Amino acid sequence: MEKALLVIDYTVDFVAENGALTCGEPGQQLESNLLKHIMQFADQEELIIFACDLHDEEDPYHPETKLFPPHNIRNTKGRELYHTIQQWYEENKELPNVIWMDKTRYSSFAGTNLEQLLRERNINDIYLTGVCTDICVLHTAVDAYNKGFHTFIYEDSVASFNQAGHDWAIGHFKNTLGATIL
């Protein structure tokens, strides 16, 4: 393995029309491109990590409880991956290069073993996909930069709640973090 694909928060609650905190159509439009990237990484036997937000209902200690409506609640349908991505995951989750990772903060690195998973496999190149471009994808990219990883963003596989935030984040990835935009 030489690289890793991170699929960040591509869940029903963040993408489906009736999701609890959905980015809606922009997120839904990523599906076919995202599936293509997942399948390419799978074919190359590269690491694929599904980094998914996890919350407990009415958690008074989590800062997002005050910022956003309840979303990605443990053991709910909203926490499943969206549509064909969930189907692909169900069919391939037993592969050694496919990992589900719970995260409780914006960054996929915060409070997880993501850095360890990457370092023990000598992976320095990470490819980011998912939602939301200017929240969880952004915070993951900032931490990746600070930890010295080479970061690539599949522009056709990230989306946000609003176009202005998305566009700002793409510029920030490239101009401030030195990420490669694909």
Long-range contacts from 60-67, C-beta under 8 angstroms, 24+ separation: 62/104
- What is the pLDDT at residue 54? 95
> What type of residue is 78?
G
CA torsion, ordered 34, 48, 53, 73, to nearest 10 deg? 90
Q: Which pTM value belongs to this model?
A: 0.96
> What type of residue is 117?
L
Span 111-157, pLDDT tens digits = 999 999 999 999 999 999 999 999 999 999 999 999 999 999 999 99
- Residue 69 — very low, low, confident or very high, per pLDDT cuts 50/70/90? confident
Q: At what angle do helices 83-92 and 31-43 cross, to 10 degrees?
A: 20
146 Ramachandran zone, left/alpha/beta (phi>0; psi -120 to 50) = alpha
Span 2-52, pLDDT tens digits = 999 999 999 999 999 999 999 999 999 999 999 999 999 999 999 999 999
CATH numbers and ranges of domains, the chain: 3-181 (3.40.50.850)
pLDDT exceeds cutoff 90 at 53: yes
Distances in Å between the alpha carbon of 40 and those of 37, 44, 71, 73, 173? 5, 6, 30, 30, 23
